[in-house]
Amino acid sequence: MNRTQLINKLVEYNGFKTYLELGVENPALNFNNIHMEKKDSVDINPNAKAVYTMSTDDFFEQLSPTKKYDLVFIDAMHVEEYVDRDLTNALKHLNPGGMICLHDVIPISKNTAQKKDKYDGAVWNGDVYRSVVKLSSTALNYVTVFNYDHGLTILYDNDNKLVDTTKYTCDYAYEEIFNDSCSGINKITELGKEKMHLITESDFTQKFSKVN
């Protein structure tokens, strides 16, 4: 399953109604295909045709504290510090029983996991994985689904957990989490599987189809 299929499964299993997508690039890639009644999107690039053309930081700054979403998909700036802020802010705007999804958590290679100042159109996963690895130091519930669409981390059952993820650090090098000489699920080291709470697609179905 790709990211869109996984998200739509969560919508189906939970009856979600409201959706926020941070980072759109092109609505046809994911946003337009999410089966939700009320959808908002944010992207700083006007060509992305998002509902809100601004940075995610500015979006949350102007967002009413009472505005909540059932599901938030984070796929904006693929840099740890930005992801941490998006995640921290998303937790503040999550309905009870809501979920947050992080994309690009399993990089193709060390080369695609490098930091950049801005997106240049090339395949780029960034160091989003670092934001996921350090979640193991928090009280947040999460799993990472292994698939071939760069992985999807799902945060669930975190009602009223307003954790500031910017306060945590990832103390592991890329090579401690991933082994680029291997392929498939073996690319993730045993430490990586533990820190990312890695599950398979069949595990995902068994776990989340029972949420209702």
Which run of H or E residues covers position 128? helix 128-133
- What tens-digit pLDDT sequence spans the chain (212 residues)? 999 999 999 999 999 999 999 999 999 999 999 999 899 999 999 999 999 999 999 999 999 999 999 999 999 999 999 999 999 999 999 999 999 999 999 999 999 999 888 777 788 899 999 999 999 999 999 999 999 999 999 999 999 999 999 999 999 999 999 999 999 999 999 999 999 999 999 999 999 997 44
pTM for the full model? Answer: 0.96
Only one residue has tokens 């193991």, namely 136
Distance CA 99, CA 64 (A): 19
pLDDT at 123: 85
Integer Cα distance of 200 and 211 in angstroms:
17
- 206 CB neighbour count, 10 Å cutoff: 11
Q: Are 38 and 72 in contact (CB under 8 A)?
A: no
pLDDT of amino acid 120: 74
Question: CA 167, 130, 137: angle at the middle one, nearest 5?
Answer: 50
Q: Which residues form the domain of 124?
A: 3-208
**What pLDDT score does 212 carry?**
47
> In terms of Cα–Cα distance, which of 3, 107, 209 is closest to 116?
107
**Up-side HSE of residue 73: CA atoms within 13 Å toward CB?**
29
Which DSSP category does 188 fall into? B
Residue 9 CA to residue 208 CA, distance in Å, equals 9
CATH number at residue 135: 3.40.50.150
pLDDT for 119 equals 75
Q: How many domains does the chain have?
A: 1
Residue 47: half-sphere exposure toward Cβ, Cα within 13 Å: 3
